[in-house]
Amino acid sequence: MRREKRGASTYVFDPIRKAWFVLSPEEFVRQHLINYLCNIKQFPASLLSVEKQVVLNGQNKRYDVVVYRDLKPLLVIECKAPFIGLDEGVTEQALRYNLILKADYLMVSNGIQDKIYKGQTLLQDLPEYTNL
């Protein structure tokens, strides 16, 4: 993860958005997850979309990460800071985004704990991209 100090703030380079962002706790989780997806689980970086807007019930919202296959959302990921528990509310937030995106897989992560779903089934681990 490329970081640099600017005054009192630390910035991190996002290789997907190709820009520098303040290294907040949530951004730290998001960047580690992007690294994990691309380098461990072999997800093509070109198929990841980060922090894009969706309209939900007339309100503008932003998802954290969406992975595509064949131009359709495959995996929706909601990232939270490490001190945020992955309670039902966090999963419901990701599910609301998925009402629009209609991905087969859903993941919520706080960098300490991950929950991965295929439909309503909770998976033990996220499969590699080629196995999704």
* pTM for this entry: 0.92
Closest CA to 79 of 14, 130, 129: 14
Which of 2-6, 38-42, 72-76, 94-98 bottoms out in mean pLDDT, i.e. has the lowest? 94-98
For the stretch 61-83, what's the b/e string if a residue is b when 16 or more beta carbons lie within 10 angstroms of its beta carbon? eebbbbbbeeeebbbbbbbbeee
Q: How far is CA 61 from its chain centroid?
A: 14
Total number of domains in the chain:
1
pLDDT score of 55: 87
By residue range, what is the domain housing residue 14? 3-131
Can you give the pLDDT at residue 87?
A: 92
CATH number for position 120:
3.90.1570.30
pLDDT digits (tens, 9 = 90+) for 34-84: 999 999 999 999 999 999 998 888 889 899 999 999 999 999 999 999 999
- The pLDDT tens digits of the residues spanning 104-132 come to 999 999 999 999 999 889 999 999 999 98
The answer to whether 110 and 81 have CB atoms below 8 angstroms apart is: yes
Type of residue at 10: T
Beta strands in 28-111 (DSSP E): 48-50, 53-56, 59-62, 65-69, 72-79, 105-109
Q: Would you say the C-alpha torsion 24, 30, 32, 34 has a positive or negative sign? A: negative
Nearest to 128 by CA among 36, 55, 49, 41: 41
Mean pLDDT of 77-96: 93
What is the average per-residue pLDDT within 4-15?
96
